[in-house]
Structure 1
Amino acid sequence: MTAFVSLPEGAGPESEPESAVGVGPWEGPWPDDPRLDPELLAGGDRRNVVDRYRYWRLDAIVSDLDSRRHDFHVAIENWQHDFNIGTVVRSANAFLAREVHIIGRKRWNRRGAMVTDRYQHVRHHPDVPAFAAWAAGEGLAVVGIDNLPGSKPLERHALPRRCVLVFGQEGPGLSDAARAACTALYSIAQYGSTRSINAGVASGIAMHAWIQEHADPPEWLDGGRFDDAP
């Protein structure tokens, strides 16, 4: 199977060329597995999914992911239709976050998610107080990630196991309300001339920091490929 490639705007998994990604129609007798989708078996599976999930129904994939999601959530403020949200959702799917939370405007640009939002639970909160109340009700630590005065270096501190990693709008960073809601603030070390890295990159770094602290490498992963694909 070939690596996943970016698609032009408006293209979906059904419109991907056969040479781009995935597998063709199933060859031989069809397997007796209720997780598999007859349409995908007949027409091939060109979706942006790892080999383990080839030919699986969407709901079967989500159910399997739900059975082993991690204990961290990710939240990002969305007051100006932040273009980084799609990247955050895609990274959350890769690192198996429990949920992604959009704070502010409900609409967001899904292009950067590369359809991973179909497999990732996304929850909307109209404002920071509503989000903070939800997090408190769930007993989750609210951890802000931003290069702010007083932020502690993420590289030298362990993230809580049950937490929400919160990121601000591109440019201004975390709002005053979001900062006040955080129980801890961490910064990501930078060594060049730029003042900041974008929220999409920062979210991936922070999620992987959580993974390094609290998760083991997947037992079924061998060099980037799955061993038990149907």
Structure 2
Amino acid sequence: MEVLYGLHPVEEALKSGQRGLDHVIVARERKDEKLERIIALARIAGVRVASQSRDEMTRLAKTDQHQGVLAMVRERQYLAIEDLIPSGKKGSKAKVAPAAEEGRHKFFLALDGVEDPHNLGALLRTADAVGVDGVLIPERRSAPINATVAKTSAGASEHVKIAKVTNLVRSLEQLKKENVWVLGLDERGSPDYMDFDFRTDCVLVLGREGAGLHDLVKKTCDHLLRIPMAGAVSSLNVSVAGAIVMYEAMRQRRTPPEVVAAPKKVKVQKGLGS
């Protein structure tokens, strides 16, 4: 069993129904509308509710930031890359359906070694907000999806589709075979992210804190995009940078084609997309 804590994470876990909740614990000392809403959701879902002292809950959560509510949940079951491919058929070699048939293009997020749980939580929160179709994280060199991530994401981690992959490069290559463009974010890349047309099936790849993308991941990308910087520092925090690009992608996808300014013609960089 895992411990989930905080009002939003527990509430979203109850709403999503994706993870089995054994029981919910609430603080005896807390009586308010927000807590009553969680108790009501638990009863609707058939989840047992118990009450304990705040001190005992702090011991269980190993933090005093639990806001008077905990949930004991079963271990998260991750998806595989095959569960996210646009064809929607596990193991299928079928190509992406035309946009007219699907209604919209797919947009994925891949994280190449994001190890700070607060950054991971913030990225998952944004991914949920913009409607990302799935998030790829490597089994190694990545922060675990734990209670800290759930709290930072305000419960969004309970809704986002997350695939844990053994080899990120191999998974990106698999997406490329499904006609998905692989877009890395790099401070030395070109073009600017605003000049790229996101109205296509694509996956945005974000690198490690400080170090950025691994070389092999970078070489796998079809394009390397950059965020222009006018100040003294050369880069942004990965969760901030990811949010900026994800929202630009959403803006383009939600705006009628005749309204969106035509992006500059992108020249494929030599050595990329191999």
Same fold (TM over 0.5): yes
Larger Rg: 2
Three-state SS of the structure 2 residue aligned to 1:132 is: helix
Three-state SS of the structure 1 residue aligned to 2:177 is: helix
Per-residue CA deviation, residues 48-102 of structure 1 (Å, 9 max, x unaligned), is xxxxxxxxxxxxxxxxxxx998620001112x72332221111110111000111
Residue 89 of structure 1 is aligned with which of 116, 124, 130?
A: 124
Report the aligned-residue RMSD. Answer: 3.4
Matches within 5 A, 1:44-59: none
Q: Is the 8 A contact 1:77 1:104 kept in 2?
A: no
Amino acid paired to 2:159: Y
Amino acid paired to 1:85: L
Three-state SS of the structure 1 residue aligned to 2:112 is: strand
Per-residue CA deviation, residues 135-164 of structure 1 (Å, 9 max, x unaligned), is 12332100011212x421112232242100
Q: CA deviation at 1:22?
A: 9.1
Q: Is the 8 A contact 2:115 2:209 kept in 1?
A: no
2:196 is matched with which residue? 157
1:199 is matched with which residue? 238
2:254 is matched with which residue? 215
Q: Is the 8 A contact 1:82 1:108 kept in 2?
A: no
Unaligned runs of 5+ in 2: 11-23, 49-101, 257-274
2:219 is matched with which residue? 180
Instruction: Classify 1:38/1:22 alpha carbon distance in 2 versus 1 (closer, same or farther; 3 Å).
Output: closer
Q: CA deviation at 1:107?
A: 5.0
Unaligned runs of 5+ in 1: 1-8, 27-35, 44-66, 218-230
Matches within 5 A, 1:1-230: 10-11=5-6, 12-13=9-10, 18=32, 39=44, 71-78=106-113, 81-83=115-117, 84-105=119-140, 108-110=144-146, 111=149, 112-148=152-188, 150-215=189-254
Amino acid paired to 1:82: D
Three-state SS of the structure 2 residue aligned to 1:161 is: coil
> Which has the higher mean CA deviation after the structures are superposed, 106-115 or 208-217?
106-115
Runs of 4+ with deviation above 4 angstroms: 14-17, 19-26, 67-70
TM-score using structure 1 length: 0.63
In the aligned structure 1, how far is the partner of 2:198 from the partner of 2:104? 17
Three-state SS of the structure 2 residue aligned to 1:190 is: coil
Per-residue CA deviation, residues 119-141 of structure 1 (Å, 9 max, x unaligned), is 11001122233222321233210
In the aligned structure 1, how far is the partner of 2:166 from the partner of 2:192? 30
Residue-pair matches, total: 175
Q: Percent identity?
A: 24
